Amino acid sequence: MIRTKVVEERIFVITMDRPPANAIDQVMSDGLDAAFTRFETDPSLLVCIITGGGERFFSAGWDLKEVAAGRDDENGFGSGGYMGLTERWGLVKPVIAAVNGTAGGGGFELALACDLVVAAEGARFVLPEVRHGLVAEGGGAIRAPRRLPPMLAMELLLTGRPATSDELHRHGFVNRVVPAGQVLEAALELARAICAAAPTSVAATKEIVQRTSHLPVREAYAEMRHGDLPAYRRMRASPNRVEGPRAFIEKRPPRWTG
């Protein structure tokens, strides 16, 4: 159900492969949790890409057969929450969603939990839970109003209508829209660009964004300067802070550590 591979020694690719729609059951959610745990704990892995097998679906979300059978207890999810990512609060390495087809329900929520999104032309994003007597409690009701214009988010949440990749690109949620066969390569291009940066700086940047985006600017500065931000502290103490400027002056590629 879950396939993983390491690309160029630094990029971790997770593929959801459960035909026909990559719907997520408990086994698949557990597999995603294990994969994201590996990514988080392996210091050699710098960027993760999550994608779907096949051409039609990124993921149709939680398998409604699980719900009908009463197997949707959130206490059964691992340390990273539903799908292994939605409540993985300490992860400071970037995750890119390579949305190769429809992202429905939990599939959309998984993309909402990522840092960057590359989507195929014609891909659809939909949160249909209200039409099934459910709520988008895997993060849709919480993250969508934060990552999309609030009125658009409410429309998608309350009506269950699908949005296209082009529409969400216009609203700033999708970074790039590319032909279907180029989704993974476009995600790899973004991953390579991130890998070229100092890993300590990338982690610190994500941590600062996570910890301050809900705060007023003055309080955000205070949290950054004086809060408990371990990745930011590591960046401040890292030799990369000297190596970066030195490499620039010497007109050579930097040699990052960490």
Calculated CA dihedral for residues 17, 23, 28, 34, nearest 10 degrees: 80
Question: Catalytic residue among 121, 129, 185, 250, which?
Answer: 129
What DSSP line would sit under the chain, residue for residue?
A: -EEEEEETTTEEEEEE--TTTT-B-HHHHHHHHHHHHHHHH-TT--EEEEEESSSSEEE--B-HHHHHTT---GGGS-TT-GGGTTT-TT--S-EEEEE-SEEETHHHHHHHTSSEEEEETT-EEE--GGGGT---TTTHHHHHHHHS-HHHHHHHHHH---EEHHHHHHTTS-SEEE-GGGHHHHHHHHHHHHHTS-HHHHHHHHHHHHHHTTS-HHHHHHHHHHS--HHHHHHHHSTHHHHHHHHHHTTS------
Give the C-alpha distances (Å, rounded to integers) separating 165 from 78, 94, 158, 180, 185: 30, 21, 19, 11, 17
The answer to whether residue 137 is catalytic is: no
Instruction: Scan for tokens 């992860």, then name that residue.
Output: 91
Question: Catalytic residue among 109, 189, 207, 250, which?
Answer: 109
Active site residues: 109, 129
